[in-house]
Amino acid sequence: MNTNSGETIQPASAAIDALRALHHGPLLLPGAADYDTARTVWNAMIDRRPVLVARCRDAADVVAGVNFAREHGLPLSVKGGGHNIAGTAVGEGLMLDLSLMKEVVVNPEARTAVAQPGCLLSDVDRATQAHGLAAVLGFISMTGIAGLTLGGGFGYLTRRFGWTCDTVLSLEVVTAAGEVVIASETENPDLFWGLRGGGGNFGVVTRFTYKLYPVGPEIIAGAVVWPGADAPAVLDMYRALTANAPPEQTVVAVLRKAPPAPWLPADIHGKPVVALFVCDTGPLAAAEARAAAIKSFGTPVGDVLQRRPYLAQQTLIDGTQPPGRRDYWKSEYLPRLEPEMLTKYIDNAWRMVSPFAGVTLFPIGGALNELPEDYSAVGNRDAAFVLAIAAGWERAEDDAANIAWVRQTWQALRPFSTGGTYVNFLTEEEGDPRIRDAYGRNYERLIDVKTRWDPTNLFRANKNIAPRS
Ligand SMILES: Cc1cc2nc3c(=O)[nH]c(=O)nc-3n(C[C@H](O)[C@H](O)[C@H](O)COP(=O)(O)OP(=O)(O)OC[C@H]3O[C@@H](n4cnc5c(N)ncnc54)[C@H](O)[C@@H]3O)c2cc1C
């Protein structure tokens, strides 16, 4: 195994035995039964073999792992849900696998949830919805809360309440020095600021405390789908709709080829479609009236926009994003939708190569725009939409064609960007200047936080912010 300096490091078996003696969770060496499961991440383009996997059960295990990596000069990586497209969760040194740390404790009176870092979105959604509450999380229920929250985080509730990281109240963190500290507005506020957007650069988070909001449990949500030929008219309607929508109504637009969903007619499967995914958490009668305007537009080929549990909406499109495909994305923030941009969006989308590709517009404008740029490190408070150009495919021989389509579409749409990009959507090869673009004016302050909390850059398997030398 090679370190950054090119030197080969294999910790002595006596050192691994010593770690095993104080570790509560299993340690996995290559060849162990769960080793391949642990090292596998969502994006099949990533195939790395850590020297050692430490499956942590608690913060003490994380402390032991951080100290071990530091003392033995081993590259360290941290895996939450393993969903990051860049595959930063897995490296070739010591991987801390937090997937066994899945406890969620909800305090319905205080409207807070304390979640461990191995939780997937579905773990937190299920625990909070039992009390009619929800945290601001993402759209695919198998995503890890840890990476999502630390990189910013957005989902159907973002227009109402802001970035996920804006709704975090405190974090328990294992630092590069192997200490357990609390980061909040009142304790270690510089660390708290940096962790809310700065990703895994400053420590390993072992507990997230989220603010919760009353949502559902029944809402008006689902999807309406039209043939691809209707995209110009549907997106024109969409532009007006999203310009006037209240924060309770989030409508996501996707151009893709129709999946073989049972609620879509068989003759449209595999053909271009335009889909609107709607999540309206407003009072039911008003939400139903807003939905009616969408449902009656033109001639949809599929319509499952209806009263449904919030939990059902949170898993509605899970099937479209399975693990194990090869994936490549590009993303930009948009300040608004412009007719010229939408024309280019449609023209380029239909050149997609894979049946699993899609170009998506996620509206996020609302609460996050009302806070100052430096409220938390994520910044980008001029963003109204996330544009995501995503290809997923199955065979390595299709890599070049899919990557080329993503890049061409990105080049065509990039002129409409705010100049910012979502750090959690950056692919493996995207380092500087894209990381700087992701943080804009907050970047220099992030370097200060990094220099204070991780001066030797122990936490560098991430979208790295290097400390000052
Ligand atoms: C299908 C799919 C759908 C998505 N949808 C959304 C969405 O709706 N909204 C959204 O905002 N994002 C979305 N994302 C992006 C998602 O936020 C990132 O991929 C995120 O990194 C996933 O978190 P994870 O814990 O699964 O990441 P991992 O791959 O496990 O980790 C990624 C990085 O996060 C850091 N990290 C993880 N755990 C910790 C920890 N406990 N302490 C410190 N650092 C840690 C490490 O640097 C690690 O390298 C989606 C991704 C996918 C693949």
- CATH topology match: 13-97 vs 218-425: no
Tell me, what's the pLDDT at 73?
Answer: 95
Tell me, what's the pLDDT at 10?
Answer: 80
Collapsing DSSP to helix, strand or coil, 9 comes out as coil
Domain positions in the chain are 13-97, 104-214, 218-425
**5-58 pLDDT, tens digit each:** 444 468 888 999 999 999 999 999 999 999 999 999 999 999 999 999 999 999
For residue 237, give the DSSP letter.
H
Q: What number does the ligand 1 atom closest to the CA of 79 have? A: 30
Pocket-testing residue among 58, 180, 424, ligand 1, by greatest number of atoms within 8 A of Cβ:
424
**141-166 pLDDT, tens digit each:** 999 999 999 999 999 999 999 999 99
**Residue 241 beta carbon below 6 angstroms from any ligand 1 atom:** no
- Read off the pLDDT of each residue in 82-86 and give the average, rounded to a whole number: 98
Interior angle at CA 360, CA 354 and CA 366, nearest 5: 165
Q: What number does the ligand 1 atom closest to the CA of 422 have? A: 11
For 244, counting Cβ atoms within 10 Å of its Cβ (0-12 exposed, 13-18 middle, 19+ buried), the class is: exposed
- Read off the pLDDT of each residue in 303-322 and give the average, rounded to a whole number: 96
**360-386 pLDDT, tens digit each:** 999 999 999 999 999 999 999 999 999
Average pLDDT score over the chain = 96
| C-alpha–C-alpha distance, residues 75 and 92, integer Å | 7
Q: Residue 178's closest CA among 462, 456, 443? A: 456
Tell me, what's the pLDDT at 92?
Answer: 95
Please state the φ and ψ torsions of residue 159, each to the nearest 5 degrees. Answer: -60, -30
Side-chain-side CA neighbours of residue 67 (13 Å): 15
CATH number for the region 104-214 comes to 3.30.465.10
Q: What number does the ligand 1 atom closest to the CA of 202 have? A: 43
- Read off the pLDDT of each residue in 210-230 and give the average, rounded to a whole number: 98
DSSP states along 252-298 = EEEEEEPP--TTS-GGGTTSEEEEEEEEE-S-HHHHHHHHHHHHTSS
Tell me, what's the pLDDT at 461?
Answer: 97
Tell me, what's the pLDDT at 8?
Answer: 44
**Residue 147 beta carbon below 6 angstroms from any ligand 1 atom:** yes
- Read off the pLDDT of each residue in 183-208 and give the average, rounded to a whole number: 98
- Read off the pLDDT of each residue in 270-295 and give the average, rounded to a whole number: 98
CATH number for the region 13-97 comes to 3.30.43.10
218-425 is a CATH 3.90.1150.10 domain: no
**Residue 82 beta carbon below 6 angstroms from any ligand 1 atom:** yes
Pocket-testing residue among 62, 84, 140, ligand 1, by greatest number of atoms within 8 A of Cβ:
84
Q: Whose CA is nearest to atom 28 of ligand 1?
A: 82
| Percent of the chain at pLDDT exceeding 90 | 97
Q: What is the largest CA-CA distance in the chain?
A: 70
Tell me, what's the pLDDT at 169?
Answer: 98
Residues 6+ apart with CB under 8 A from 76: 65, 66, 69, 70, 91, 93, 94, 95, 96, 458, 459, 461
Q: How far is the CA of 94 from the centre of ligand 1 (A)?
A: 19
One-letter amino acid at 92 equals: E
Q: How far is the CA of 427 from the centre of ligand 1 (A)?
A: 12
| C-alpha–C-alpha distance, residues 124 and 10, integer Å | 38
Q: Residue 341's closest CA among 278, 382, 292, 385? A: 385
DSSP states along 369-386 = GGS-TTSSTT--TT--EE
| Percent of the chain at pLDDT exceeding 70 | 98
Tell me, what's the pLDDT at 11?
Answer: 84
